[in-house]
Amino acid sequence: MKIDFLKNEKAILVAKNIAYVAVICVLILVIVQISLRIYTHHGDEVLTPTVTSLYVEEAENLLRSKNLRIKVMDSTYLSSFPLGMIVDQDPPANSHIKENRTIYVIVNAKSRRKVALPNLYDYSLRQAQATLTSMSLQVGEIMYEKSEYKDLILGMQIGDRRVEPGLQVPEGTTINLIVGTGIARQNIRVPNIKGKKINSAVQILRHAGLTVGTCLDENGDEVELDTKQNLYVFWQRPESGTVVQPYTEIDIKVSNRAVTTTSSKKQEDEDFFD
């Protein structure tokens, strides 16, 4: 009997110890969970305010009032935004975030990037407009001057001041174009420019009262017309001999390899006018 009693008392003691350990473990887990909630501010979330279209100083004040921070990550240039204004943010507006979170922003540059004015002399009006637009420049007023060649670029202006190629101007600058009015002439027979260097081909077309239209490379991709490059014309439309109206655009394809043609000098020097 005494042995059984001792066994029961020992079992009770072990059970109590196990219970004590279990209670202690539960208490530790509860304390850890509460501590994590306090440390991570669990449940303390705010909606991200909209800071785009604000200046950095304004955004700082707004975010500070909501226990948030701001950091400028990058700058860009967008003509649709005032200089120095925030154009993008991360996280986006109305996102649920914790307090003390940093909002990363992109700011419109405080000064516009500068580009060199292209050489547009002898470009057609359409080509000049496309070139300026591709360089983030604005096409302004089209002004006409008397010239033998219709719609060929004679010069550029910023405001009332005539400017030359190479001048450094800020992106978004408005460029006024001076173009030729053209002189009425009779119909023209298209000259043969196959095998000609690009600069010679342009001069021949100009002399005939025609202009270069689309300029393509050997793969059929459109390329910028540059008379300084060592390129040769190997295809033209309309074909030589076709009778067209003055100032018709002649589309060409060019290659950096010399092209052999069977055209005679007599054909090249023929009278182009009916």
| Structure tokens belonging to residue 214 | 């689309």
Q: Which of 28-37, 167-176, 199-208, 224-233 has the lowest mean pLDDT?
A: 28-37
| Structure tokens belonging to residue 216 | 């393509």
| Structure tokens belonging to residue 140 | 């302004």
Start-end of H helices in 101-140: 125-134
Instruction: Tell me if 221 is assigned to some domain.
Output: yes
The predicted pLDDT at position 118 comes to: 95
Instruction: Tell me if 273 is assigned to some domain.
Output: no
Q: Judge if 24 and 52 occupy the same domain.
A: no
The predicted pLDDT at position 237 comes to: 95
Residues 159-178 have a mean pLDDT of 92
Number of structural domains (the chain) is 4
Instruction: Tell me if 64 is assigned to some domain.
Output: yes
Instruction: Tell me if 124 is assigned to some domain.
Output: yes
Instruction: Tell me if 81 is assigned to some domain.
Output: yes
CA distance 129 to 155: 13
- Given a cut of 80, is residue 33 above it in pLDDT? no
- Given a cut of 90, is residue 59 above it in pLDDT? yes
Instruction: Tell me if 4 is assigned to some domain.
Output: yes
Residue 254, exposed/middle/buried by CB under 10 A (0-12, 13-18, 19+)? buried
Q: Judge if 204 and 238 occupy the same domain.
A: yes
CA distance 183 to 61: 64
| Structure tokens belonging to residue 25 | 């473990």
Domain that holds residue 133: 114-180
Higher pLDDT, 72 or 6: 72
DSSP-derived 3-state class of residue 35: helix
Instruction: Tell me if 172 is assigned to some domain.
Output: yes
Higher pLDDT, 27 or 107: 107
**pLDDT tier, 108 (very low <50, low <70, confident <90, very high otherwise):** very high
Last residue of a domain, one of 80, 108, 136: 108
CA distance 235 to 127: 19
The predicted pLDDT at position 57 comes to: 94
| Structure tokens belonging to residue 42 | 């669990």
Whichever domain contains 264, its CATH number is: 3.30.10.20
The phi, psi pair for 46, rounded to 5°, reads -130, 160
Instruction: Tell me if 274 is assigned to some domain.
Output: no
Higher pLDDT, 30 or 219: 219
The predicted pLDDT at position 37 comes to: 64
